[in-house]
Amino acid sequence: MPDGRNLSVYLSNELINNVDRCVEIKNQGLERILWKRNTIIRQAIEDYIKQCLDRHRDEELQKERIEHAQ
């Protein structure tokens, strides 16, 4: 612990360090939230594309069945 003259400097530095740590922790949390959100969005897009492709494939198969039946 510093003497009286350096106490305010010491406390100021500790406060700055604590704020920096809090900002770093908050940024890491935000980064994780954004990563999870982006993963969810990417998965939703992939699922939608798969559904569209499956629907298109089913429509093509249905057309082929109708053509063969005639």
Domain range enclosing 46:
18-70
pLDDT for res 56 = 92
Alpha helices in 1-70 (DSSP H): 4-69
In-domain check, residue 31: yes
9 in a structural domain? no
Query: How far is Cα 11 from Cα 5, in angstroms, rounded to an integer?
Result: 11
Residue-wise pLDDT for 15-69, tens only, equals: 888 888 888 888 888 888 888 888 998 899 999 999 999 999 999 999 999 888 8
Q: How many domains does the chain have?
A: 1
In a domain, 24, yes or no: yes
- So what's the pLDDT on residue 4? 65
Residue by residue, DSSP assigns 35-51 as HHHHHHHHHHHHHHHHH
Contacts of 10 (CB under 8 A, 6+ apart): 1, 2
Count of Cβ atoms closer than 10 Å to residue 10 Cβ: 13
pLDDT confidence band for 13 (50 / 70 / 90): confident
